[in-house]
Amino acid sequence: MKKRRVKASRRSRRRYGMMLFLSLVVVGMIVTLMQRPFSQTTTLTADPDNAGHVAIGQAVYARSCANCHGPNLEGQPRWKQPLPTGGYPAPPHDATGHTWHHPDALLFKITKYGGQASAPRGFRSNMPPFQDVLTDEEIWAVLAYIKSRWPAAVRDKQQQMSMKAR
Ligand code: HEC
């Protein structure tokens, strides 16, 4: 009688340990799954409605982009005409350019790795890479700033494109 009770309690202790282990595994899985979309929305988007990101982006723009793309995002003169030295001048980033024709992921790639990395074969790009100059967060911030300067309709269109491209 006594022996049996000891055995039973040992068995239930083992069962308890197993359940504890399984619930830890489940909790671990839930935490991992929850963290993924979180980190994507906080660091991997250019959010023009985030005033903090836009402010950082404005400073980055003035420092790193304005000399080519123009202090007011207006681009260089005659940006549609090829240069005698090859490639094109810097296009505007406002609504008159074609920056907004591209999804966020491509804008990020062009800024980080330079235009050449995404250009068709034979095209010479004059857009330099910023991977050694800016952090990923700074790149998302400068894109947030650029997007904040677009009219709502343009912003919506580009947003839809970005969602589809994911
Ligand atoms: C040295 C001049 C120069 C600087 C500085 C520069 N760019 Fe550019 N950028 C260009 C040129 C030129 C192009 C046109 C495309 C090409 O030649 O590949 C371009 C194109 C782009 C494009 C693609 C636009 C499109 O419509 O396809 C993006 C996005 C871009 N630049 C972002 C930036 C950002 C953000 C910065 C600052 C962090 C920056 N650029 C700084 C020269 C520059």
Q: What is the pLDDT of residue 39?
A: 45
**What is the C-alpha to C-alpha distance for residues 43 and 3, in angstroms, rounded to an integer?**
60
Q: Please write the tens of the pLDDT for every residue from 8-47.
A: 777 888 888 888 888 888 888 877 766 654 444 445 689 9
Q: Assess whether pLDDT exceeds 90 at residue 166.
A: no
Percent of all residues in the chain with a pLDDT value above 90, rounded to a whole number = 69
Which ligand 1 atom lies nearest to the CA of residue 99?
26
pLDDT digits (tens, 9 = 90+) for 135-164: 999 999 999 999 999 999 999 999 999 988
Is the shortest distance between the CB of 73 and ligand 1 below 6 Å? no
Residue among 54, 58, 67, 68 whose CB has most ligand 1 atoms within 8 A, to mutate: 68
- CB-ligand 1 contact for 65 (6 Å cutoff): yes
Q: At what angle do helices 104-113 and 152-165 cross, to 10 degrees?
A: 80
64-119 confidence digits (pLDDT tens): 999 999 999 999 999 999 999 999 999 999 999 999 999 999 999 999 999 999 99
Here the tokens at position 28 are: 């671990």
Q: 92: Cβ below 6 Å to ligand 1?
A: no
Higher pLDDT, 14 or 132: 132
Q: State the DSSP H helix or E strand holding residue 56, giving kind and residue range, or none if neither.
A: helix 51-64
Extended beta strands in the chain, E state: none
**Residue ID of nearest Cα to ligand 1 atom 18:** 125
Q: What is the pTM of this model?
A: 0.79
